[in-house]
Structure 1
Amino acid sequence: MILALGIAMTIKGQLIGIGPWDVLHVGLYQKVGLTIGSWSIITGLAIVLTTAAFQRKWPKYGTWLNMLLLGSFIDLFNWLLPDIHTIPGAIGMFIAGVVIMSYGIGLYVSPNMGAGPRDSLMLLIVHKFNISVKVVRTSIEVIVALLGWALGGPVGIGTVLIALLIGQVVHIAMPQCQRLLLRAAGEPNIEALL
């Protein structure tokens, strides 16, 4: 839910661009119809089925929940949040969205219940072709952004910033989310586990 809120906030701040996968989802929404969240679910399902076929095993249940709930909550928050029509408003919404999105990623990854569809695709390519995560992740983001842009999705400086900086913010958010999870689970010696 938190990840979807961050994504929806960046979509509302789209005057400066949105994340590469969301460029694709918005482009599909504009060309074909349905909703942005529906396209998130549909592309997620295609990726899950593809990676499951290549790995010859079904993903963990967290992957399925991520796929279904993320798209549903993106649509809910896109409906609830106001449209932004000014550059300062878009910048503020975008920055807040990136921070919230990063903590949402940290919270969903920390329990280790399964990577989201897009992360599963990245890991499959990394393991299959022995290429670095950085190269694979960047390549996927660029390809998806270009495809979304060709469909009319909003590309801008925000798209580049998310592609380049989201990992840095997640790097800060992840340990904090792991400590929060362990604290919520009642683990007395949190620092020794991290």
Structure 2
Amino acid sequence: MMIRRFVQLLVGLTLYGVSLALMVRAHLGLDPWDVFHQGVAQRLGWSLGTVVNVAGALVLLLWLPLRQWPGLGTVCNVLVIGLAVDAALALLPPVSGLPARFGLLVGGVLLNALATAAYIGAGLGPGPRDGLMTGLVRRTGRSVRLVRTGIEGVVLIAGWLLGGPVGVGTVAYALLIGPLVQVLLPHLTVQPAGVTSSGQASGGRWNGA
């Protein structure tokens, strides 16, 4: 079971990087965090994947005062997504024409939802950015919606000021990603051995991975 979860984690993170590359090639806007990553990459002259990985590592440091500890999935998130996006961008040629760009955007958002559900469903730890959100929710007592909106609002504005791409893709991602992941996640959540679909284990109530 652990091997299945680890493989699903790596596949999900790799597909996440590919989905980001598709949205980059669409040139119609990125999600808030990747607007920031792209803006930093343009200013520093680094590859997008390098910025994604470095930013993930720096965000992970913010977990320390929140007394939050990374899981295997968290560490893999920092290492894998950036490598995957750089590899995918090297293989995907630029496209022209609005229909083709919209096609890449739609494919990128759908693939991103599938990838997100896959790596979350593996149950091996949240990504650095999601962990920052949940840590702040726990420490401040604020709602998930308020904390997530605040974090993503800050990084979106910062990314836009740095020259990151904001557009229809940014809006589409914000509106669609939550409902899509909610639909896909139950199908990709791996239950630990001995746990039934209702959450009952032989030793009592199961409280999650």
TM over 0.5: yes
Which residue identity does 1:17 align to in structure 2?
A: G
- Preserved contact between residue 138 and residue 163 of structure 1 (Cα < 8 Å): no
- Would you say 1:3 and 2:21 are equivalent positions? no
Which residue identity does 1:107 align to in structure 2?
A: A
Q: Do the aligned partners of residues 152 and 65 (structure 1) sit closer, same or farther apart at CA in structure 2, a change above 3 Å counting?
A: same
Following superposition, the deviation at residue 58 of structure 1 comes to 3.3
Corresponding residue to 2:136 among 95, 116, 125: 125
Where in structure 2 are there 5+ consecutive unaligned residues? 1-13, 201-209
Which has the larger helix fraction? 1
Corresponding residue of 1:111: 122
What does 1:109-188 align with in structure 2 at a 5 Å threshold?
109-178=120-189, 181=190
Following superposition, the deviation at residue 193 of structure 1 comes to 4.8
Aligned sequence identity (%):
34
Where in structure 1 are there 5+ consecutive unaligned residues? none
> 1-side partners of 2:96 and 2:78: how far apart?
30
Measured against aligned partners, the alpha-carbon deviations of 1:143-187 in whole angstroms (never above 9, x if no partner) come to 111111101111012112212321111111111212xx45xx8x7
> 2-side partners of 1:143 and 1:163: how far apart?
15
Structure 1 segments, 4+ long, off by >4 Å, are 187-194
**What SS does the corresponding residue of 1:28 show, helix, strand or coil?**
helix
- Preserved contact between residue 11 and residue 22 of structure 1 (Cα < 8 Å): no
Q: How many pairs were matched up?
A: 187
Corresponding residue to 1:99 among 105, 110, 116: 110
Corresponding residue of 1:65: 76
Q: Do the aligned partners of residues 121 and 188 (structure 1) sit closer, same or farther apart at CA in structure 2, a change above 3 Å counting?
A: closer
**What SS does the corresponding residue of 1:17 show, helix, strand or coil?**
coil
